[in-house]
Amino acid sequence: MADEDVKLIDEKGIRLDGRRFDELRPISIEAGVLKRADGSAYLEWGENKVLAAVYGPREMHPRHAQNPSRAVVQARYNMAAFSVPDRKRPGPDRRSVEISKIMSEALEEIVFVEQFPRASIDVFVEVLEASAGTRCAALTAASVALADAGIPMSDIISSCAAGKIDGQIVLDLGKKEDNYGEADVPLGMVPSSGKITLLQMDGNLTLEEYKQVMELAMGACKKIYQLQRDALKRRYSTSLKNFEEMADDTEEV
């Protein structure tokens, strides 16, 4: 991961894209963007653009994959061929299978799966543009889409990475930082309870550095949680407004 020749932080502590060590890239989230999905979300995070769609709970097929005592959350992460500067070979690969698995496992931690025996809850995430941190973006968007689908769940998951570049601990690594940095730690958590639902690490950290990384990423998850909640509130206040307008129209007839 590390490369001595690439300078990622200048002498004033400013990173290549102008951020300080503890700054996130800009994030925007919109819930309810797809009409045919039961729940959906569109998220932009720096140069990442991610769409999440949720279908279900619905009867699981093939039937032999059903769990008689609970629902199965099936997440599928896919990076579009045009999502990166060099065309990505379409279709699943080891990386997308891995990310789909860790997302499914994380989301099963928050959904009340025991309420839906034999069902599947399908979560599709399409990465339209990728620039490091897409698994965190995908998990963050998927949580909003699940909530938008009205699926009973304990809370939402927020996700963000922190790591080490040029010997310093930083939040939310960008593409070059991911390529040339020393470590990257994606974290997914339920900010209201502190429960950790995803934790991976690429690179090496000392125990002290690891603690700093976790503190930074957990703090960021709390901010992202607020953005997710705001997106859901906007979605439902708009729905409520439309409903009230429809009711007014009916009264006028």
Q: Where do contacts with ligand ADP occur on this chain (CB under 6 A)?
A: 84, 86, 88, 95, 130-135, 175, 178
Cα(92)–Cα(143) distance, rounded to whole angstroms?
22
Token couple for 197: 């639902």
What is the spatial distance between Cα 102 and Cα 134, in angstroms, rounded to a whole number?
Answer: 13
Pull the structure tokens for residue 180: 């040339």
**Shorter beta-carbon distance to ligand ADP: residue 32 or 46:** 46
Q: Which is nearer to ligand ADP, 135 or 235 (CB)?
A: 135
* Shortest Å, Cβ 159 to ligand ADP: 10
Cβ-based nearer residue to ligand ADP, 74 or 134: 134
Contact 156, 147 (CB under 8 A): yes
Nearest approach in angstroms of CB 144 to ligand ADP is 18
Q: Across-strand partners of 129?
A: 49
**Pairing relationship of beta strands 119-129 and 72-79 according to DSSP bridges:** parallel
| Amino acid code (one letter) for 203 | G
Residue 170 φ/ψ, nearest 5 degrees: -135, 160
Minimum gap (Å) between residue 212 Cβ and ligand ADP? 20
Measured from the CB of residue 11, what is the shortest distance to ligand ADP in angstroms? 27
| Closest approach of ligand ADP to the CB of residue 175, in Å | 6
Residue 201 CB, shortest distance to ligand ADP, in Å, is 11
Q: Which is nearer to ligand ADP, 128 or 218 (CB)?
A: 128
Contacts 24+ apart (CB under 8 A), 233-240: 234/30, 234/31, 235/30, 235/31, 235/32, 235/148, 239/32
φ, ψ at 151 (rounded to 5°): -75, 130
Cβ-based nearer residue to ligand ADP, 5 or 86:
86
Choose between 1 and 218: whose C-beta lies nearer to ligand ADP: 1
Contact 170, 21 (CB under 8 A): yes
Minimum distance from residue 93 beta carbon to ligand ADP (Å):
7
What are the angstrom distances between the C-alpha of 244 and each of 232, 238, 240, 250?
A: 18, 10, 6, 10
Closest to ligand ADP by CB, 131 vs 140, is 131
Retrieve residue 208's tokens. 């002290």
